Structure 1
Amino acid sequence: MVIFSLLLLSGQSAATLLGRLYFDKGAKSKWMATLVQTAGFPILIPFLFVSPTKHGIAQSNQTKPPSTLILVSFYTFLGVFLAAYSMLYTIGLKYLPVSTHSLICASQLGFNALFCYFLNAQKFTPFIMNSLFLLTISSTLLVFSNDDSGDSNKTSKGKYVIGFMCTIAASAGYALNLSTTQLAFRKILKETFRVVMNVIIYQSLVARCVILVGLFTSGEWRNLRREMKEYELGNVSYVMNLVWTAVTWQVFSIGAIGLIFKVSSLFSNVISTLGLPIVPVLAVIIFQDKMTGVKVVAILLAIWGFASYIYQHYLDDLESKPKSRIVNDVSVVERA
């Protein structure tokens, strides 16, 4: 679980900053910026041939294997959905300062909680409710502040609103994707290392095909060569930005889906919000984004909300240990 969390946090932070760097240095193609979010999946194919040890991800779901039609439908749904909210995410990142964009993404936790309640029978305790409330408020605060004059990404008020709405919609889409994936693991998918890789690879393959259609239909592909030549950091840096953005998004995907598998989609989303303080601080250093008072309050609320959620998991762990001990004692007695 720790490894998956580190992969999620590092991949998310690096991919967000690289995405902002892409637009800041002169690139303009929204479709290309969206494509690299899913294009890195081939690097995961060798893992399909890795046989995990007995101590790795276990196969705890012994349900009947789903039919090919169900699997194709499921992966197609996830892929199309991934392409849609990835484009919305890209538009938000283009029109908003990276610090503001990252904090608004905290709203995905509130959406995820709602979807988990209906799809995954998630139980809500006072500490979880407090966590969701604080994390949602931390992003909502940013609606009332468009004081970004000192930020690297200067946009009109109209584009700011478009960026905000697209980021909210992308957060809702991502949350629904997580909850649907958790439901699939519980109902139709066998919980194995290979299946986790399949979910990432096949949904990314479908998403890439959808985005490629958009790239060529929109005509943006004609401007890519000129965009690379005009990139402020040079041709090599342009290519390396796209390559490493693709890689870091796949690192993030492994961490996110791994946490869904090991714990829950809501926990995966909470770990994602842990990256909120990381990205804005790095954005201030790298992109000279302005750290306003509203952003500072939003970060503190996000940290408080995360701590509240982790404390609930700590209480759950304390409660489960006596039960596990009783079960083990009974097993020992029965064997005797």
Structure 2
Amino acid sequence: METAAQSMNKKTRRAVFLINAVLLTIGNCGGPLIMRLYFLHGGSRVWLSSFLETGGWPINFLPLLLTYLHRRSNSGPTTPLFLIKPPIFLSAAFIGLLTGADDYLYAYGLARLPVSTSSLVIASQLGFTALFAYLLVRQKFASYSINAVFLLTIGAGLLALHTSSDRPKGESEGEYFLGFFMTVGAAALYGFVLPLVELTYKKAKQAVTYSLVIEIQLVMCFFATVVCTIGMIINNDFKAIPKEAIEFGLGETKYYVVLVCSAIIWQCFFLGAIGVIFSSSSLLSAIIIAVLLPVTETLAVLFYREKFQAEKGISLVLSLWGFVSYFYGEFKDSNNNKKTQTPGTEMQHAISLP
């Protein structure tokens, strides 16, 4: 199957990649910070926080409308509003159910862990993504990529050592470590989801355009939200929201502002993640998520006065080392490909690298 990426010229492909990388940056840095803000000022509903991660899915109708109008101007009034076909719809729905479970694991972990610790633990997601990308989409690894994955995984593992002093006040050691392992579970599950999205693109029996990518995002987030909505109903979260808003530390109005902003920012994350997969690969999407770790780490320390112990420092250094190793390897491979590449293989290499 010829993918949409193969039909795009370099400028268009890079523009799509950059737009989604920016969306991923906004969501990856802003999402954890605003979610933690909710918990720091009196919020306690984990299922509500899970719901907000994908609850902004109707926002996707706006870019879908714009892409539809663009397609209609080129193809005429008979242009279908939606492109997604049943096999891809079912695949996106299944991935959405997994994402809903991942939302809960991540929200539970962030309710118990400082943002800086949670972000570093999430770095282990790269290792899981690499493993599942190899198993599901036969991702090829160079020595630099393997080194990067190893360093990032070891760096995240260091956080399990001597972390008791990082525990928020009033939280038991058992709750803290449960939050830690729930976050590891979230990293593992989303590390599976990213290659699963790439596999869906590869196995699709229709042209995978960016319009279709947005539709897949909408379906995934809808079903993830259904999972979280059921959790909210069982946990009586809808009834608790008005009371929690009144008691919120920043005031009732800002409580609802935090909820709305959280839903919008998390949509940037999910759309950016699957958009990067569309224009490149699931591994690169995971790499970008990991690359943004130092940014989120720094913002958490600055805004929330979180502690920065030696373990975090060592983990951060290993993470940065892993980032440099990966991108140096990509740069080196890109230069080697330019020297040995034939005209017929130029576009093939262009697909895998932004």
- Whether these two folds match at TM > 0.5 is yes
Corresponding residue number in structure 1 for 2:13: none
Task: State which of 134, 150, 154 in structure 1 corresponds to 2:151.
Answer: 134
Deviation at 1:133, TM superposition (A): 0.6
Any conservation in 2 of the 1:152–1:287 contact (CA below 8 Å)? no
Matched to 1:225, the amino acid is: P
For 1:130-279, list aligned pairs within 5 A: 130-149=147-166, 155-188=171-204, 190-279=207-296
Task: State which of 58, 66, 69 in structure 2 corresponds to 1:42.
Answer: 58
Deviation at 1:300, TM superposition (A): 1.3
Matched to 2:59, the amino acid is: I
Corresponding residue number in structure 1 for 2:27: 11
The superposition leaves residues 205-256 of structure 1 with CA deviations (integer Å, 9 ceiling, x where unpaired) of 1111221111111222221111000000001111111111111111111211
Any conservation in 2 of the 1:115–1:179 contact (CA below 8 Å)? yes
Q: Distance in 2 between matches of 1:245 and 1:259?
A: 21
1:82 equivalent in alignment to 2:99: yes
Corresponding residue number in structure 1 for 2:352: none
Percent of counterpart pairs with the same letter? 34
Name the CA shift for 1:148/1:67 in 2 (closer, same or farther; >3 Å): same
Give structure 1 stretches of 5+ with no counterpart. 55-64, 330-336
Deviation at 1:152, TM superposition (A): 5.3
Corresponding residue number in structure 2 for 1:307: 324
Matched to 1:111, the amino acid is: F
Any conservation in 2 of the 1:96–1:153 contact (CA below 8 Å)? no
Corresponding residue number in structure 2 for 1:286: 303
Matched to 1:42, the amino acid is: P
Deviation at 1:283, TM superposition (A): 1.0
The superposition leaves residues 89-137 of structure 1 with CA deviations (integer Å, 9 ceiling, x where unpaired) of 0000001111100000011111011101110111122111110011001
Q: What TM-score do you get using the length of structure 1 for normalisation?
A: 0.89
Q: Distance in 1 between matches of 2:234 and 2:90?
A: 24
Any conservation in 2 of the 1:79–1:204 contact (CA below 8 Å)? yes
Aligned length: 317
Any conservation in 1 of the 2:52–2:263 contact (CA below 8 Å)? yes
Corresponding residue number in structure 1 for 2:350: none
Query: What value does the CA root-mean-square deviation take over the aligned residues?
Result: 2.0
Q: What TM-score do you get using the length of structure 2 for normalisation?
A: 0.85
Any conservation in 1 of the 2:161–2:311 contact (CA below 8 Å)? no
Name the CA shift for 1:48/1:155 in 2 (closer, same or farther; >3 Å): same
Q: Secondary structure at the match of 1:258?
A: helix
Matched to 1:113, the amino acid is: A
Q: Distance in 2 between matches of 1:67 and 1:198?
A: 10
Matched to 1:125, the amino acid is: A
Deviation at 1:274, TM superposition (A): 0.9
The superposition leaves residues 180-216 of structure 1 with CA deviations (integer Å, 9 ceiling, x where unpaired) of 0001111115320111101111111111122111111
Name the CA shift for 1:273/1:328 in 2 (closer, same or farther; >3 Å): closer
* 124-133 vs 5-14, greater mean Cα deviation: 5-14
1:93 equivalent in alignment to 2:105: no
Deviation at 1:147, TM superposition (A): 3.9
Corresponding residue number in structure 2 for 1:21: 37
Matched to 1:112, the amino acid is: T
Matched to 1:84, the amino acid is: A
1:32 equivalent in alignment to 2:48: yes
